[in-house]
Amino acid sequence: MTDVNVIINEKIEKFGKERQALMPILQGIVADKNYITEDELLLVAETLDLSAADVYGTATFYTFLDVVPRGKYVIRVCKTISCHMAGKDQIIDTLEKTLSIKLGETTTDKKFTLLQANCMGWCHKGPVMLINDEVYPELTPEKAIAIIAEYIAK
């Protein structure tokens, strides 16, 4: 994990100390460790001289910017109609059983978080899930289990 101050300074150098640096900073923190803490949000707000409530509002607007603790691998299963019809519920069932967690939860070893997301543009190859930045299309329950096994082994 990189120190947040390093991320903040790097983005400020590139985008300036204005509001336009906000999204890159938030994305930078999430890319590094999947979620942003309260203290980090506050630090960002103070550094950019923005209202803390405003920064919180921006962060919570985006599905991919999390402000609650997440595991090392964040699994997002598409919940939109094409994937729904292609059987995303079965995939979620399988993942819940394999990981012993419910939707929205994180495993006790902090390795996996299971979430849903809206359409990812892979509708022709649903059901689809995302693990961090990696896309896994045309899932079946068996395939899903195999993919998770790979991550567990990592």
Partner 1 sequence: MAKYEVNLKINNIPVTVEEGSTILDAAKKLNFRVPTLCQHPDLCVAGNCRVCVVEQKGAKALPAACATPVSEGMEIFTNSQKVRTARTHIIELLLSEHNSECTSCYKNGKCELQALANEYRVNENLFIKLVDKNTYTIDNFSPAIIKDDSKCIRCQRCVRTCASMQFVSALAVSHKGDKQKISTFFDKSMNDVVCTNCGQCVNRCPTGALVEKNYIDQVWDAVNNPKIHVVVQTAPSVRIGLGEDLGLEPGNRVTGKMVSALKRIGFDSVLDTDFSADLTIMEEGTELLTRLKKALVDKDETVALPMTTSCSPGWIKFIEHKYPSLLPNVSTCKSPQQMFGALAKTFYAQKKGLKVENMISVSIMPCTAKKYEADRPEMRSSGFKDVDYVLTTRELAMMIRQAGICFEDLPNEKYDSIMGESSGAAVIFGATGGVMEAALRTAYEIVTGREVPFANLDIVPVRGFEGIKEAKVLIKDVLPEWGFLEGAELSCAIAHGLANANKLMAAVVSGEVNYHFIEIMACPGGCLGGGGQPIPTSPEIRAKRMEAIYEEDANMAIRKSHENPEITAIYAEFLGKPNGHKSHELLHTHYVKRKGY
Note whether 41 binds partner 1 by CB under 8 A.
yes
Query: How far is residue 29's CA from residue 23's CA, in Å, rounded to a whole number?
Result: 10
Decide whether 8 or 114 has the Cβ nearer to ligand FES.
114
Decide whether 34 or 58 has the Cβ nearer to partner 1.
58
119 is in the binding site of which of partner 1, ligand FES, none (Cβ under 5 to 8 A by kind)?
A: ligand FES
Decide whether 11 or 88 has the Cβ nearer to ligand FES.
88
114: which DSSP letter? E
Note whether 117 binds partner 1 by CB under 8 A.
no
What ranges in the chain are assigned the alpha helix state H?
A: 4-15, 22-33, 38-48, 52-61, 81-85, 88-99, 141-153
Q: Would you tell me which residues interact with ligand FES (CB under 6 A)?
A: 78, 80-83, 119-123, 126, 128
Query: How far is residue 64's CA from residue 36's CA, in Å, rounded to a whole number?
Result: 11
